[in-house]
Amino acid sequence: METRQINLPLETARRWYEQGGELKEMALWAFDEKELIEYRLPKSWEEYRTMKGDKGEKANAALSFAYTSINSAFADYHDTQKHIALMKLHLLRDEYRRGWKPDCDKDSYSIIRDSDDIYVGIWSSAFYFLSFEDNKIGNEFLNNFRELIEEAGDLI
């Protein structure tokens, strides 16, 4: 049997992978499955809930339980809302990190609040709650979730 080598663009391999059958097998010869599964980051809390299945019922149940617990701990409604926003940001941050963890030996890009603005800055040897592997992801997160970050207020 004669064989030949071909160049297979990633986008074509992704289409073949989605079609299944022999085309999927050929795509898997050329690329790792992780490369073929096009991962989309959520652009909103609602989109995240939908991505997680059950129309977000699991996330809603966790937040409902947390809301009840937090609400009983804080007399101020606004404090409760800040903590709920922080919990949402935590789940979204982990989704955007895709397994990445900050490392004190490497720079990270963190969302910082100061008295005038919210921005992404590069930091070394420092860990911040909303830190990401690269500037692009940090800015995308900030653009998508600025309102939620503002809602979390001084917890960020």
pLDDT digits (tens, 9 = 90+) for 12-27: 988 898 888 999 999 9
Residues 141 and 66 in one domain: yes
Residue 109 burial class via C-beta count within 10 angstroms: exposed 0-12, middle 13-18, buried 19 and up:
buried
Domain count, the chain: 2
Residues 27 and 88 in one domain: no
On average, the pLDDT of the chain sits at: 84
Q: Please report whether residue 21 resides in a domain.
A: yes
Q: Please report whether residue 2 resides in a domain.
A: no
Residues 62 and 139 in one domain: yes
Q: Is the model's pLDDT at 105 over the cut of 90?
A: no
Rounded mean pLDDT of 70-83?
Answer: 72
Residues 23 and 54 in one domain: no
Residues 27 and 85 in one domain: no
Residues 128 and 93 in one domain: yes
Residues 26 and 72 in one domain: no
Is 51 or 8 the better-scoring residue by pLDDT?
A: 8
76 φ, ψ (degrees, to nearest 5): -90, 125
Q: Is the model's pLDDT at 145 over the cut of 80?
A: yes
Residue 153 burial class via C-beta count within 10 angstroms: exposed 0-12, middle 13-18, buried 19 and up:
middle
CA atoms within 13 A on the CB side of 88: 29
Which range of residues forms the domain containing residue 104? 45-155
